[in-house]
Amino acid sequence: MKTVTPHARAVKTLSRNSAGYFFTVTVLTIVAMALLPCSIQAQEPDAEVLVAEGILAYDAKRYEEAISLFSQAVARDPRQARGFYYLALSHLARGQAEQAIAPLTTLHVLRPSDLDVTYQLGTAHFAVRQYDKAAPLLEEVFRQEPDRENLGFYVGLLRYHQKDYDSAAAALSVNVSSDSDLRQLALFYRGLALGVLGLSDQALSELASAQRVQPSSPITGASVRVQEALTASRRVTEPQRLRLQIAIGGYYDDNVAVNPRKSSDPVAESLRSRATQSPGLVTSARGDYAWYRNGPIESTVTYSYYQTVNTNSGIGRFNIQDHLGGLSGVYRGIIGTIPYEIGGQYSYDYMFLDFAGFLSRHTLTLPVTLVPPSVTLPVLGRMENLTTFLYRYQRKEFYAEPGNNDIRFGPESRDAFNNMVGFLHAFRFRQDKYILRVGYQHDTDAARGSSFAYSGNRLQLGGQATLPWYDLSLRLDYEVHWRAYNHAQVLFPDGTGQLSARGDTEQDIFIQVAKALPHNLTLALQYQGVLNSSTIPVYAYNKNVFTTLVTWTY
């Protein structure tokens, strides 16, 4: 048996332990080398995981959770582009455009050439009305991708607010959108831009298109109002700038001479003996020419003619002929989303009574029209609005008045300066199939004769409707005018025989049924009734007029 010395045993043990030691060291070194990169790179995959989880939350519309995950991701990796992008989208999805601006701004610095980022940042600025910051961003995207979804609308609206109407119309014309609301808004603003440029024939077409896109939309009523304003203004409805209107018809008037109602007053009763009932013919003509157009400013000259002919003998001395000439100007624009029109008009008319001078009037009118936002009412549905504020100054001069030549009749002179302020508001329903109007006016008549100076208040009510039969339209207007005269009468007593201050209440009712005919013709049947009650019997009267009119418009 071989003997092993302690030294040999020690050497053998050392050799065996050294081999194990080196094996262990080698394994640990390999593991450490493998784990070290993972430890160094742990930050980046962790941010990616957070972004991936955030996208899942975003797709599930858990926006608050998504915002938390994306915020953690960009905090761990400040260059995490997807994290910034989806963080902004999550804020936008919650309607927090202002919070979306910061991550989009950072992302725009990281990726300045990324059009998606530029577009989102521009729309975020647009949403918070930072138009000066939104404009260059969206213009840059529009320059490279003009057919991007909704981009034409944003750029067009920005240009419109900058009063660059020509460029605004161009951008809005190429707008591409799958959203019917934005398509309609684009058509609406393009119509406004074209109208401001004086291209009203195109503007009317665009505004009509806006109604066809989504007729139940709140913008429809505003579109119709602007369309009516353009049509009624005569200034810009035709490319040749000229518009004509001629009407001819017949009527029956049961009180042409304005005889007083039956009373116990001897003077009033003596006037009642005059012949006063008569059929007659009526003609009218009007021409408007838009002589000046420059951007939102337009000016028009106007002439109109009106003639009545009473066919009963003895009534011809009450035939009326009136000539009117006028000059008007208007400025149209928009404040935010509210269209407005500021105008001014001067007119002079001269009226003949049986071909003798009877009355002349100088009239200055200053209207301001606004299209306020629509509201939705229970049962009635959406209601559109239109408001007009009005000031009118008028100088009236009557000819052949007794007081003009005889001082004894001076208090009976009707020459006067009239000032009036008021408003008229229209409520419109179901795309203007039904319209209700309410208005109020206050006027003062500073007459030369003390018997005719008054202070008055007028209430206006009205409505119109499209009837379900034969394309007929119905209009009904009612007005009541209360006049309190300032001084006691000089010639005519009240019902008690005293010379007192006069007080009148005049009620007017107007009813019309109209039908459009071919060749620009319109047939209308009209009724007008006047009921004037007065504390002075001479001035109390009733009047009824029935009229048939055919109107041709060019």
CATH number of 86's domain: 1.25.40.10
Q: What per-residue confidence (pLDDT) applies to 15? A: 43
Q: What is the pLDDT confidence band of residue 241, given thresholds at 50, 70 and 90? A: confident
456 in the same domain as 383: yes
Q: Please check whether residues 57 and 191 belong to one and the same domain.
A: yes
Same domain, yes or no: 419 and 277: yes
Q: Which of 232, 260, 294 is the last residue of a domain?
A: 232
Q: Is the pLDDT of residue 351 over 70?
A: yes
Q: Could you report the per-residue pLDDT of 11-28, keeping only the tens digit for each?
A: 344 344 444 444 443 444
In-domain check, residue 30: no
Residue 198 falls within a domain, yes or no? Answer: yes
In this structure, of 25-34, 208-217, 442-451, the range with the lowest mean pLDDT score is 25-34
User: Does residue 98 sit in the same domain as residue 200?
Assistant: yes
**327, part of any domain:** yes
Question: What angle, 0 to 180 degrees and rounded to 10, lies between the N-to-C axes of helices 219-232 and 200-213?
Answer: 160
Q: How far apart are CA 129 and CA 399, in angstroms?
A: 60
Q: Which of 134-143, 379-388, 526-535 has the lowest mean pLDDT?
A: 379-388
The pLDDT assigned to 126 comes to 86
pLDDT at position 269 is 87
78 near 109, Cβ under 8 Å?
A: no
- Whether 36 is in a domain gets the answer no
Q: If you average pLDDT over every residue of the chain, what do you get?
A: 81
Among 279, 301, 280, 305, smallest CA distance to 290 is for 301
Over residues 406-431, mean pLDDT: 87
Averaged pLDDT, 304-324: 90
pLDDT at 117: 87
367/285 same-domain check: yes
Cβ(390)–Cβ(420) below 8 Å? yes
What is d(CA 484, CA 476) in angstroms, rounded to the nearest whole number? Answer: 27
In a domain, residue 33? The reply is: no
Q: How many domains does the chain have?
A: 2
Per-residue pLDDT of 427-450, as tens digits, reads 988 877 888 999 999 999 999 989
- Whether 14 is in a domain gets the answer no
Where among 232, 254, 269 does a domain terminate? 232
Q: Which band of pLDDT confidence, cut at 50, 70 and 90, is reported for residue 238?
A: very low
> Is pLDDT at 277 greater than 90 in this prediction?
yes
**At which of 201, 232, 263 does a domain end?**
232
Q: Is the pLDDT of residue 217 over 80?
A: no
Q: What is the pLDDT of residue 206?
A: 55
With a cut of 80, say whether residue 182 has pLDDT above it: no
pLDDT of 207 reads 53
Select the more confidently predicted residue: 248 or 206: 248
Q: Where is pLDDT greater, at 159 or 443?
A: 443
- Do residues 142 and 248 both lie within one domain? no
pLDDT surpassing 90 at residue 535 = yes
- Of 208-217, 307-316, 423-432, the one with minimum mean pLDDT is 208-217
Average pLDDT over residues 389-406: 85
- Do 77 and 207 reside in the same domain of the chain? yes
Res 10 pLDDT > 70: no
Res. 303: pLDDT tops 90: yes
Average pLDDT over residues 215-237: 43
- Over residues 93-117, the pLDDT tens digits come to 887 888 888 888 888 888 888 888 8
**544-549, long-range: CB within 8 Å, 24+ apart, which pairs?**
544/253, 544/254, 544/255, 545/251, 545/252, 545/253, 545/254, 546/251, 546/252, 547/249, 547/250, 547/251, 547/282, 548/249, 548/250, 548/251, 548/523, 548/524, 549/247, 549/248, 549/249, 549/282, 549/523, 549/524
Q: pLDDT digits over 448-471, tens only? A: 989 999 999 999 999 999 898 888
Domain span holding position 60: 43-232
Residue 13 lies in a domain: no
Are 205 and 261 members of one domain? no
Q: Are strands 375-377 and 320-335 parallel, antiparallel or unpaired?
A: unpaired
Question: Is residue 69 scored above 90 in pLDDT?
Answer: no
Q: What angle do CA 128, 87, 153 make, to 5 degrees?
A: 40
Percent above pLDDT 90 for the chain: 35
Residue 380: pLDDT band by 50, 70, 90 thresholds?
confident
Residue 349 forms part of a structural domain: yes
pLDDT at 201: 55
For residue 388, what is the domain's CATH number?
2.40.160
Same domain, 144 and 273: no
pLDDT of residue 229: 46
Q: Are 91 and 67 in contact (CB under 8 A)?
A: yes
Query: 426 with 534, same domain?
Result: yes
User: Which secondary-structure segment (H or E) carries 124?
Assistant: helix 115-127
pLDDT at 371 over 90: no
pLDDT confidence of 84, banded at 50, 70, 90?
A: confident
Same domain for 113 and 207?
yes
Are 332 and 203 in a shared domain? no
Nearest-angstrom CA–CA distance, 36 and 114: 36
Encoded tokens for 81: 């582009």
